[in-house]
Structure 1
Amino acid sequence: MAKQHPKDYPGLKARFFHSAATVGDSSLFVWAGEQAGLPKVHDSPEKRKFTNTIQHFTASSGQWFARETTGTPPLGVMGYSCAAINNHLYYFGGYCNHDNCFHNSITRLDTISLQWRELEPTDATRPVMRRGCGGMLSFEHDGVHYLLMIGGIGSKPAVQLQQNRYIETMHERSSGRWRTNEHSMYNLSLEKWDNVSVTGQCIPPADGFVLEKISNTRAILFGGIIQDDKTEAIASNDLYLLRIDLSLTTVCIKKPEAIDKWPVGRYNHAGTIIVAGLLCPLLVICGGMNNNNDKLDDCWMFDTTQCTWTTWTKVGHSFSKRWAHSLSVFTFSPRCFWIITVGGAFVSRREVTSDELVQYPYITVMKSLVFNKEQVIVQDIPVSNSRQYQSMYFQQLQLGRTHWLEYQKQKKEVQVWEGHQLTEYKTSLKEQELEIQAIKQQLRNEQDHSHQLTIKIEKKEAEHYLELQEKDQKYHHQLQEIKAEKELEIQRICFQLQERLESEKAAKDLEIQNCHHWLQEKEQEMQEYYHHFDQLKGKEAEIQRCHFQLEEQEREKAKTAQEIQNYHY
C-alpha cells in the first residue's frame, strides 16, 4: 500500500483528514486535507497554492481533474466539515495546520463558477466554538436551507453555552484543545446563526465520528472519540438516530449484550448513505482506528429501517484498511451503487508523515455494489485503467437501466396492488360509514331519551330543592326559639352564680380580716418576747463577767498561797 505514484501521475495526491462531497449523480469534489508540502502556517502564498485548487472526479471519465478556484478559500484545511446543497458546497471550521489554531468560518463554493464566498469569517468571540473533526449536514424547513453542526475538537471556547458540554483534553498531542458536543445551526437565507433545542439522549463531547443524512428530516451518527467529566476519552460504537427540525431529537442505540454483530468502537472512520430498493437507507462505514489506536480493516452496513448491522466482506485491504479517509457513493439504480474511498493513512499511530499516507494506486479505490435479492455482489472498479473503466461504466449504466425498469415495474405493481387495496379500503370505508351512520342515529335516539330523562330529573331536583328550602326555614325557626330559651337559662344561671360568688367573697374577706387581727396580736407578743430575750441576754453577760472576776480572784488566791508556801520552805 505504500507504493509511490509516478511523478507524471495526473490524479489525486495522497491526503487525509479531508472531506469528499457528491454533487449531482456523478461528480465528486475533494478539497485540501493534510498532504505533503502543505505549510504549517496560518496563511501564505504557498498555502494558497494548495487551497485555491479543488479536485473534481467524474463518474463518466473515472479521472480526477484539478480545478482552479477564485475568491478566498477557507483557512481550516484539515478536519473541516462539508455539506452539498444543489451545486454549492459549504465548508465549516477545520484545523489551520499550525499550533492550536481552529476556525468557525462558513465558506461557500459554487461548483459551476468555482467561486468562493465567505459567509461567516472566523471570530474568536462568537458563541460558536472554533473546531474541527465534527459533523455537519444540511436540511430544508419551510423553503429555507439550514446547516447543522455537531461536536468536534478545537480551540478553547470563548463562550460555553449552557445546554452544551466542553471538556479540555489531556492528551499530549492535543493538549490545550477542547472537545465538545456543541450543536450549532446556521440559516443560509438570513445568513445568521440560530439556537438549537436538543431533546433526547444527546451525544457526549466527541470528535472523529460520522454524521450522515438519511433524509431531509432524519440523520444518523456513529462512533467517534467520546469523553465525559468522569472518564477518559474512548472510541465509541454507540449509534444515534436524529430527527431534524428547527429543534433536534436524538435517540441513542447501544450494542445489545446478546448481539455479536456490531462494529467495535472506532474513530476517524468514513461513512456514507446508500438508498437500496424501495426507500431502504443503509449506512456504510469502513476503516478507522480502535481504542488502542490500531487501524481497522472492516466494512459494515447498518439497515436504518431494521436497525441491524451486517458485515460487508471481500472488499480488500486496499479499500478499507485506512483511517481519516472519505467514503462516497454514486447511484446507478436502486440496486447498483459505486462506493468510492479516497485518501487516508495506513499506519497504526496518530502522528503520520506524508510517506505513511495511502499512496498511488490506492488513493482512490472504487467498488461496485449490486444488491441481488438477499446477496450483495461486490466488484472492483479499475480506476487506473481507463479502457476497462469505461467498459465497466457503460455496463453499470446498462445494468442500472435494467434495474430502473425493474424498479419501475415493481413500483407499478405496487401501485396496482395499492389501487386494489385502495378499492377494498374504500368499500370497507363505505360499509364502516353506513355502520357509523346507524350508530350515530342510535346515539341520537339515546341522546333524546337521555334529554327527556334529564328534564324529569331536573324537575324532581327542583321540587326536592323547594322541599329542602321549606324544611330549612322550619328548622331555622325552631333553632331560633331554642336559642332564645337557652340564652335566658344561661342568663339566670349566670345571675345565680354571681350572687353565690359575691356571698362567698364577703365571707372570705371577713375571715381574712380576723386572720389579719390575730397576726397583729401575735406580732406584738413576739416583740415583747424579743424585748424580754434581750434583757436575759444582758443578765447572762453580766453573770459571765462576774464568773470571770471570781476565777481571777481564785487564781490570785492560789498564787498567793503558793508564794506563802514557798516562803515557809
Structure 2
Amino acid sequence: MDRCRHASAIINGDSTSPTLVVIGGTRRNELVTECLLFDSITTGQYSCRKIPLPESVTGRYSHSLTAVTMSPHCVWLVIVGGDEEIRWKDVGGGKEVARSIPITDTNRLIMIIELVYSEAGEWIVQSVLDGNYLTSKNYQEKYQSYSKTRTWWMDQLIEYPTEREMKLQRYIQSLHEDLQVAHESKVSLQEALVDANKQVKGDDSNDFISSVLEEMRQEQEKLNQIITG
C-alpha cells in the first residue's frame, strides 16, 4: 500500500464510522491506478478494500479530492486535476529526469464519484460522472434534487435554542454586565481608599475621616461578595 502523491478524503454518513478514501498516486515513479477504502479508522480495527473505478478516475497523481455529504447515505467524491503520466527525459551525462504530464482532457479534469451506503453496511459506487455529464441537463436535475435533500438534512442537525434557553442566555449576559460594573466600582473604591489613607496618615484623631474610611471598607466588602459570590 506504499504510495505517494495520492489524494485522500474522509467520508462519513448517518450511523457509520469515518472511512478514509485513497485514490491514485505513484509508487516508484509508476502510476497506482486503484481506489482504497479504509473502514472504521477510528477504532484501530480498520479493514482495507478496493472499490472498482475506471482508470480515467484513478490513473492520476498530484490531484485533489474532497468529499461532499449529500445525504446520510450518499457522498460525492469530487476529484480535480492532477498529472496522468511520468515521462523520462535525457538531460545528458547518462542522466534522466522524470517529467510529469498533466491531465488536459476536459472530461477528466473534474469528475464526481457517487458513493452510496448499502443495506449490506458498506460504501459502493453508484455512478461516475465525467466532464460531459457535469454540463448536461440530467446533472443539473440530479444536483437540484440532492441539494434540496441535503438542505433539509443539514437543518435537522442544527439545534436552535428554545425560548427558555434564550432567556437564560440573556440573564447570564445581564449578570456579566453587573459584575463588570461591580469590578469597575471596586477599582474606583480602592483608589479612593488609597487617597484617603494618604490624607489621614499620622492623624489618628480625625474621627470623621476614620468613620468615612470604615464605611468605604464596608462597601468594598459588599462588592467583593458580589464578585466572588
TM range (shorter): 0.5 to 0.7
Write out aligned runs for 1:388-537 (5 A).
388-397=138-147, 400=150, 404=153
1:269 paired with 2:6, answer yes
Partner of 2:98: 351
Q: Match of 2:25? A: 288
How far off its partner does 1:288 sit? 0.4
Residue 441 of structure 1 corresponds to which residue in structure 2?
Answer: none
User: What is the rounded CA distance, in whole Å, between the counterparts of 1:380 and 1:330 in structure 2?
Assistant: 15
- Structure 2: unaligned runs, 5 residues or longer: 88-96, 158-229
Aligned with 1:397: secondary structure?
helix
* Aligned residue number for residue 46 of structure 2: 307
Could you tell me how far 1:337 is from its partner in structure 2? Answer: 0.9
Aligned to 2:71: 333
**CA offsets, 1:486-536, max 9 Å, x none?**
xxxxxxxxxxxxxxxxxxxxxxxxxxxxxxxxxxxxxxxxxxxxxxxxxxx
1:45-75 CA distance string (max 9 Å, x none): xxxxxxxxxxxxxxxxxxxxxxxxxxxxxxx
Q: Count residues in correspondence.
A: 139
| Residue 383 of structure 1: how far off its partner (Å) | 4.0
CA gap of 1:389–1:383, structure 2 versus 1, over 3 A, is: farther
Question: 1:373 and 2:119 equivalent?
Answer: yes
Does the CA-based 8 Å contact 1:333-1:401 persist in structure 2?
Answer: no
Distance in 1 of aligned mates of 2:55 and 2:118 = 24
| Aligned residue number for residue 203 of structure 2 | none
Gaps of 5+ in 1: 1-263, 409-569
Give me the TM-score of the superposition, normalised by structure 2: 0.54
Q: What does 1:125-164 correspond to in 2, within 5 Å?
A: none
Q: d(CA) in 1 for partners of 2:137 and 2:116?
A: 21
Larger Cα-atom Rg: 1
Name the structure with the higher helix share. 2
In structure 1, distance between residues paired with 2:102 and 2:142? 28
- The answer to whether 1:364 aligns with 2:100 is no
| Letter paired with 2:127 | Q
Deviation >4 Å, runs of 4+: 398-402
Classify 1:370/1:378 alpha carbon distance in 2 versus 1 (closer, same or farther; 3 Å): same
What's the CA shift for 1:368? 0.9
1:267-308 C-alpha deviation (Å, 9 max, x unpaired): 001001111232511110010011x31101100111213411
TM-score where L is the length of structure 1: 0.23
1:34-53 mapped onto 2 (5 Å cutoff):
none
Q: Distance in 1 between matches of 2:51 and 2:2?
A: 17
1:322 aligns with 2:60: yes
**Equivalent residues in 2 for 1:108-257, closer than 5 Å:** none
| Amino acid corresponding to residue 392 of structure 1 in structure 2 | K
Q: Which has the higher contact order (CA 8 A, sep 6+)?
A: 2
Looking at structure 2, the residues matched to 328 and 267 of structure 1 have their Cα atoms a distance apart, in angstroms, of 17
